[in-house]
Amino acid sequence: MSAALLGHPLERLRAWWGTRREAAQSRRGLPVRDGFDPRGGTVARIAGFDQAMVVVVIALVALGSVMVFSASVALPDNPRFSRYTPTHFLNRHLFSVALAFVLGLAMVQVPIAFWEKHASRIFIVALVLLLAVLIPGVGKVVNKSRRWIPLGVMNFQPSELAKLAMAMYAASYMVRKMEVKEDFVRAVWPMALATAFIGLLLLREPDVGALVVVATIAMGILFLGGVNARMFFLIVGVLAVTAGLFLYFDDLRRERILAFLDPWNPEYAQGKGYQLTHSLIAFGRGEIFGQGLGSSVEKLHYLPEAHTDFLLAVIGEELGFLGVACVITAFFWLTRRVVGIGRQAIALDRVFAGLMTQGIGIWFGLQSFINMGVNLGALPTKGLTLPLMSYGGSAILLNFVALAIVLRVDIENRQLMRGGRA
C-alpha cells in the first residue's frame, strides 16, 4: 500500500487491523487469507464499487433516451424517413442500450490483467476493422463518409473501437517502454508511427473528429506516463503543423472553419453554417428554463442530425440553460471521477490500469467537450456524438464497455486496499 493512501486515517486503521489479525492467526497456526475484509470477516468479492458513478451514468443514459425520442419523433414526416414509425429511433436506441448494458456486465467480470495481456491484439483488430470499412461492399457510405460496417442488427463503427484500443495499447506501450521514456527515438517514434497509421485510416473515411480524440488519447497517455515534456511539446507542434497543412489543402474543412467563424454570413448560413445557426437559435429559444419537454421547434426538420450530433441543442431548447448546465456538470464530474480512479490505480502500482483508465477519462472528457463546443458554436463542426446520450449503437456499446472496464479497475483497487488480490 502506498504512502499516500496510508496517509488517510481510515486506511491506517484498516492496515493496522489487518496486521493485528494476521499476527493473531499466525500465533494460532491458522492460514492468513488474502482478501480479508475487516468489516465483514470474509474474502473480498466484487461487492464494493463506485455507486455514485453508476448513478450518474444511468441518469445520463436515461435523459439521453428521453431526448433522443423527443428529437426524432417528428422525423417520419420527412420523406427521407417516411418508412419509419415515430418510435423507430427510440426503439433502436433502447436496443443498443440494453445490449450495451449486458455487455458491460460481462466486461466487469474480466480482470484487468486480461486487457493488459491482449492490448496489442485488440489494437491490431481495430486497425483491421478500420481497413475493412474502406473496402467497397464492406463499408457503408452515409453522407459521403464510409465509417460503418453493417451487421444486420446494427451498423458498427470501427473508429469507436479504435478509441478504446488506443487507450489500452498506449498504456501497455508505456509500461513496456518505461525504462526508455527519456529517449525520444525509442520511446516516442514507435507510438507516433502507430498513431499516424490509424490517423491515415480515419482520414480516408473521413472521420476527423475521431482522429482528434484518438491522437489526444495517445498524447495524453504519453504525457501521463512520464515522457519528457520537451518531447511532448515537440509532438504537439508537429501535429499542429500537420493539421494546418491538412486544412490548407482540404477545401471542405477550410470552408467549415470559415463558416464557424462567421455562421450568419449569407454565404454560409444556408450552407456549411446551416447546422450551427439553427443550433444557436435552439439555445436562444430555450433561455433559462426551456420551452418544455417535447416543445422544440428546431427538431421539426430545421436542425439536421438533432438526435445525434446536435442532441445538446434540443436539450437546450426544451430544458433551457438549467438542463444544459446539469448535463455539463454531470460530464465534468464523470470525467474527473474516471481520471481519479486511474490516479488511484497508479498509486497502487498498477500502472497499466491507471494509464488506461486515465486515457478513457481523456476520451470521455474531450469528446463531450468537443460535442458541446460544436453545439454552442465554440468549435468547428465535427461528427462526434455526445457520449452515453446521443443516438448511435456503436458509440453506446463502446461507452458502456469502457466504463465497465473503469468500474473493474475501481473494484480491484478497493480489493487491494482491503488487503486482497485484484
pLDDT at 176: 85
Measured torsion, CA atoms of residues 47, 48, 52, 58, in degrees rounded to the nearest 10: -30
Closest CA to 164 of 346, 413, 367: 367
pLDDT at 247: 67
pLDDT at 189: 77
pLDDT at 90: 96
pLDDT at 180: 58
* Domain assignments of the chain as residue spans, ordered by start: 33-417
**Phi, psi values for residue 309, rounded to 5°:** -65, -30
**Does the CA dihedral 246-247-248-250 come out positive or negative?**
positive
pLDDT at 32: 34
Residues 6+ apart with CB under 8 A from 76: 82, 84, 85, 86, 88
pLDDT at 363: 97
Give, for all 422 residues of the chain, the pLDDT tens digit: 444 444 454 455 455 545 555 544 444 333 333 333 433 433 344 457 889 999 999 999 999 999 999 999 999 988 888 899 999 999 999 999 999 999 999 999 999 999 999 999 999 999 999 999 999 888 888 877 888 999 888 889 999 999 999 999 999 998 887 765 566 666 677 787 888 888 889 888 888 889 999 999 998 998 888 776 776 677 677 777 777 777 677 667 777 777 888 888 888 878 788 899 999 999 999 999 999 999 999 999 899 889 999 999 999 999 999 999 999 999 999 999 999 999 999 999 999 999 999 999 999 999 999 999 999 999 888 889 999 999 988 999 999 999 999 999 999 999 998 876 65
pLDDT at 1: 43
pLDDT at 44: 40
Residues 6+ apart with CB under 8 A from 133: 139, 146, 147, 148, 149, 158, 205
> In one letter, which amino acid is 211?
L
